[in-house]
Amino acid sequence: MAAFKNSPVQLELLDAIKSDDMKACESLMSANPKVLYLLAWPENPLFVASLKGNEEVILLLLRVCPDLIEQRTSKQQTVLHLVTECKHHGVFKVLLGEVKRLNKEYLLDEKDELGNTVLHVAVNNKQLRIVEMCLKEDGFANRVKAMNNNGDTALSLYYKIPNFDLETQEIGRFLREASRDSPRRSTRFLHEASRSSPRRSSRFLHEASRGTPRRRTTPSRWTLEIKRGYILAVLAIFFGLAFAVIGALPTFFPKESLVKYIGVVYGFKDVIYGELPLVFYIIFFITVGFMTCIGLLFVLLYSLPCRSLMFLGGFATFAVYLLLSNENMPKFFVRAGSYYNVPSYYFMLILVIVFICVGALIIRLGNCLTLVSYNCAKLLMRKLVSIFRPPSNEMLPLHNLHYNNRIANAISAG
């Protein structure tokens, strides 16, 4: 290999890579095929092309000089570390394809000076796609268990991430699934299957013998994005309907017809029995739906990059809605206690908050009661089945079945 420094061809090639001039790169490398094997480079051409995101140049460089993919930075980072740190998903996919073509999959497990593998860097930078690509390759079980210089695995780094969004939660699911799916799991699976009932054990043993134990499937990132898109579309439609109804209220309830309610004092019985103006109940139920939807919107928008601007727009929209609803609300009072009268608008807002909180509590209790009822019914069914099922060989353990078969054969032979 030549040892001279910084030849004009090297500098021209680096300039062509930085300017994304594919034709110049091809002509320079075809005229000087050994230029990439020079020892001294001011910058690694593969690193430059990868950071620029030029996939065609990357493929060209690795076709001419495959050894470039093994080179490291001063911090002992491979090119896979660099593109992961810079969040270049497409470039990582191209490099991963070249790694497999060159049979250099060990580069996925190489560590930098801090002991971080590519998976560590991907988790640190919340790169869901790169994490998914790393865990699809062979050796993923050892990759998840690899520790850096601080003794952290990729999963322990995940638990140190400060702000969790949808993508971050998906990363956690992938890591937990991969850490559970290890060679030891197959042995444990067989042991658990042999201790279970015969009907279940035969199915589990068959699955374990095929090497395909059942595992919980995880929804993909694209599935979650589609679901979030549908929910946002429904919420946007409801927002439009809420504003349309609030804006149309003066048409159906003119202010002249609401003058008679000004200053009137109602009691709680009037609220319960529906003695208040109809427009009050309409605004109340619209506001319940509107406030529930705006809470859901804040949860869905929290994981987006421009969430601060979206929250500002949401608060502005909410303020406009409050002004419109206040404008259309009849100005009466509701008696609270002996001496205090609450204005109709503030009473409506208090009632909305109480209604949402009580509704959420009832739904939560309903879910808990449903789960308890389901478990009780399942337990009762098992008891009934165990009582009324006739005795048969199917209920015997596997070793007793073999023992009984030997006795039967001996009796028939005798």
Averaged pLDDT, 328-346: 87
Give yes or no for residue 1 having a pLDDT over 70: no
Averaged pLDDT, 158-180: 79
Same domain, 190 and 116: no
Is the residue at 102 inside a domain?
yes
How distant, in Å, are the alpha carbons of 36, 42, 50, 60 from that of 79? Answer: 16, 16, 7, 15
* Residue bearing the bigger pLDDT, 176 or 414: 176
Is the residue at 412 inside a domain?
no
Report the number of distinct structural domains present in the chain: 3
List the domain range (segments joined by +) for residue 212: 182-218
Write out the H or E segment, with its range, that includes residue 342: strand 340-343
In angstroms, the CA 247 to CA 283 distance is 11
Same domain, 40 and 189: no
Same domain, 242 and 154: no
Same domain, 171 and 190: no
* Residue bearing the bigger pLDDT, 263 or 199: 263
Is the residue at 137 inside a domain?
yes
Q: What is the pLDDT of residues 255-285, one digit of tens each?
A: 888 888 888 889 888 888 888 899 999 999 9
* Residue bearing the bigger pLDDT, 405 or 37: 37
Same domain, 35 and 53: yes
At 320, which amino acid appears?
V
Averaged pLDDT, 394-407: 47
List, in order, residues 6 or more apart from 292 with CB less than 8 Å away.
356
What CATH number should be reported for the domain holding residue 13?
1.25.40.20
Q: Which of 9, 73, 15 is nearest to 37 (CA)?
A: 9
For residue 243, what pLDDT band results from cuts at 50, 70 and 90?
confident
In angstroms, the CA 33 to CA 133 distance is 33
Give yes or no for residue 144 having a pLDDT over 60: yes
Residue with tokens 């001294």: 40
In angstroms, the CA 108 to CA 139 distance is 9
Helices and strands, counts by H and E, the chain: 20, 3
Is the residue at 384 inside a domain?
no
Q: What is the DSSP letter of 395?
A: G
Give yes or no for residue 331 having a pLDDT over 70: yes
334 burial via Cβ count (<10 Å: 0-12, 13-18, 19+): buried
Q: Give the pLDDT of residue 4.
A: 43
For residue 205, what pLDDT band results from cuts at 50, 70 and 90?
very low
In three-state secondary structure terms, 414 is coil
For residue 206, what pLDDT band results from cuts at 50, 70 and 90?
very low
Which tokens go with 404?
């009984």
Total length of the chain: 414
In angstroms, the CA 390 to CA 392 distance is 6
Q: Give the pLDDT of residue 413.
A: 53
Number of CB atoms found within 10 A of residue 91's CB: 23
Contact 70, 44 (CB under 8 A): no
Same domain, 111 and 191: no
**pTM for the predicted model, two decimal places:** 0.45
Which tokens go with 44?
């690694």
Is the residue at 118 inside a domain?
yes
Give yes or no for residue 223 having a pLDDT over 60: no
Q: What is the DSSP letter of 34?
A: T
Give yes or no for residue 194 having a pLDDT over 50: no
In angstroms, the CA 365 to CA 371 distance is 10
In angstroms, the CA 160 to CA 157 distance is 5
For residue 199, what pLDDT band results from cuts at 50, 70 and 90?
very low
Q: Given 321, 341, 363, which residue is the final one in a domain?
A: 363
Is the residue at 298 inside a domain?
yes
Residue 120 phi/psi, 5-degree rounding, is: -60, -50
In angstroms, the CA 45 to CA 375 distance is 63
In angstroms, the CA 209 to CA 323 distance is 67
Same domain, 75 and 104: yes
Same domain, 163 and 214: no
Same domain, 23 and 63: yes
Is the residue at 375 inside a domain?
no
Same domain, 122 and 204: no
Q: Give the pLDDT of residue 228.
A: 67
Which tokens go with 245?
């109804």
In angstroms, the CA 83 to CA 367 distance is 46
Contact 167, 221 (CB under 8 A): yes
For residue 390, what pLDDT band results from cuts at 50, 70 and 90?
low
Same domain, 214 and 231: no
Same domain, 281 and 346: yes
Q: What is the pLDDT of residues 345-389, one digit of tens each?
A: 999 999 999 999 999 899 989 888 988 888 888 888 888 877 876
Is the residue at 259 inside a domain?
yes
In angstroms, the CA 345 to CA 342 distance is 8
